[in-house]
Amino acid sequence: MERAERGLVPLDQEVLVLEGEVVASIRALAARGVGSKRIAATLGVARNTVKRYLRTAVPAGVQVRPQARCLSEAARAEARRLYEGVAEGNAVVAHRLLAEQGVAVSVRTVERAVRDLRRARRVAEVATVRVETAPGEQLQVDFGQKRVEIAGTAVRLHLLVAVLSYSRRIFVKAFLHERQDEWREGLAAAFQHFGGVTRTVLGDNARALVSGRDVATSTVHFHPADLAFCRDWDVQPRACAPYRARTKGKTESGVKYVKRNALAGLTFASLETHLATWMALADQRIHGTTHEAPAVRFSRDEQPALRPLPLRALPRREQRVRRRVAADALVDIDTVRYSVPHPLVREHVEVAIGDDTVRIYHGGQLVATHRRSFGPHTCVIDPAHWAGLWRTTVSTRQEAVVAAPLASLGRSLQDYAVLIGGPA
């Protein structure tokens, strides 16, 4: 009665399986120290069967199964309700919630009870309804990672891929990281590349964009800095539903297309130059869905529908970080090392990173200004910062990428002068 109240129904408990001499052989071999795996192989029986006979005092010829269980109708209905509700399609969570109600069954039992619901969820996740947007309405954006060889060096890049949803024109920009700054810089570059601004931008749930989501109200909370950026550009941000990346299928396909078509198996002297050439070619290809070249659809329908770029330069939102000056009077920013006056060795400085410029402050005073470099593992040096350390004097101030040996890799820094953007 107690078992029925808890939603459990006992099934048959005994099944005749092994002859007495086999059971005796199992026990005899075990007594000689033979392991269960070896016994099972020797006697031609399942290893779990051997373990069960050794674990329990079972009479010869009878195997006692662990009591098989199934859910009563009431417990099954509760399992399905939990699975579709608070468990959010997770059978393990539904199993835990059932256990809290006193229903002690295995996870597998719960999985059987919700099997049809699981299948329906899988179908819903795969099935896609294609949604076409109006010209100038939406830009889909996503990041992908790819390890490529640039100037003889293997580099892992983060590729921002932006696709105009109507025309399918594509824009690609390479970064060393995937942070808020890279998202905003990439979006601004995409709008400038297309010569106009869409009404909405659709991204995923990347932590660099989304700070949280209210499931009950389907409300997405974006980071304040990202919202400020969107206000500057007068564009509405959107985020696809969690685990529904197919919502932005055009850019999902675009990321794969870039990785497989633009980069796979290729090496570059300058990735920036290569991507510019590749994007121009991609705009001329016949798209498999629209059966038109993206450039044709863009010039005919989408370009007139884009809103104009801002008439005046938008305020820059510089990134500021603190760094300690190394013994060689260099400060490391995103694998690029910038020089400061050598008396500041071991001092802490504040670095303001702009779109094109890196400014370094000490005690509130500007001590160094450099052009921003996007070549990984390079050094940007103002020779005047090392004045007094050299035997020869520096007559004129010039800023350059120094070609000193990189001891850890055994090659000159000139080899790394420009990996993404080409020669300086």
Q: Look-up: residue for tokens 């809103």? A: 307
Q: Are 208 and 186 a contacting pair, CB within 8 Å? A: no
Q: Which two tokens stand for residue 366?
A: 């500007």
pLDDT at 8: 44
Looking at the fold, whether 237 and 284 belong to one and the same domain comes out as yes
With respect to residue 117, please indicate whether it lies within any of the assigned structural domains. Answer: no
Q: Of 305, 337, 359, which residue constitutes the final position of a domain? A: 305
Question: Do 275 and 359 fall into the same domain?
Answer: no
CB within 8 A of 200, min separation 6: which ones?
137, 138, 139, 235, 236, 237, 238
Residues of the chain with pLDDT under 70: 1-20, 56-69, 124-131, 150-152, 215-218, 241-254, 259-262, 264-269, 312-318, 390-424
Indicate the residue among 305, 340, 362 that finishes a domain.
Answer: 305
Q: Are residues 247 and 281 in the same domain?
A: yes
Number of domains the chain is built from = 2
User: Are 345 and 286 contained in the same domain?
Assistant: no
Using only the alpha carbons of the chain, give its radius of gyration: 32
Residue with tokens 């099944």: 15
Are 243 and 125 in contact by the 8 Å Cβ rule? The answer is yes
Phi, psi for 158 (deg, rounded to 5)? -105, 120
For residue 196, what pLDDT is reported?
A: 94
Mean pLDDT for all residues in the chain: 77
Which structural domain range is residue 269 located in? 138-305
Does residue 402 lie within any of the structural domains? yes
Name the region of 388 (left: φ>0; alpha: ψ -120 to 50; beta: rest): left
d(CA 283, CA 293): 6
The reported pLDDT for the residue numbered 133 is 82
Residues 153 and 273 in one domain: yes
- Closest alpha carbon to 319 in 144, 177, 422: 177
Residue 116 lies in a domain: no
Structure tokens at 376: 């990984």
- Please give the full DSSP string across 330-396, using - where no structure is assigned: EEEETTEEEE--GGGTT-EEEEEE-SSEEEEEETTEEEEEEE---STT-EEE-GGGGTTTSSS---S
Flag whether the pTM goes above 0.75: no
By CB neighbour count within 10 A (0-12 exposed, 13-18 middle, 19+ buried), where does 381 fall? buried
Within this chain, do residues 189 and 289 fall inside the same structural domain, yes or no? Answer: yes
Task: List the CATH number of the domain containing 269.
Answer: 3.30.420.10
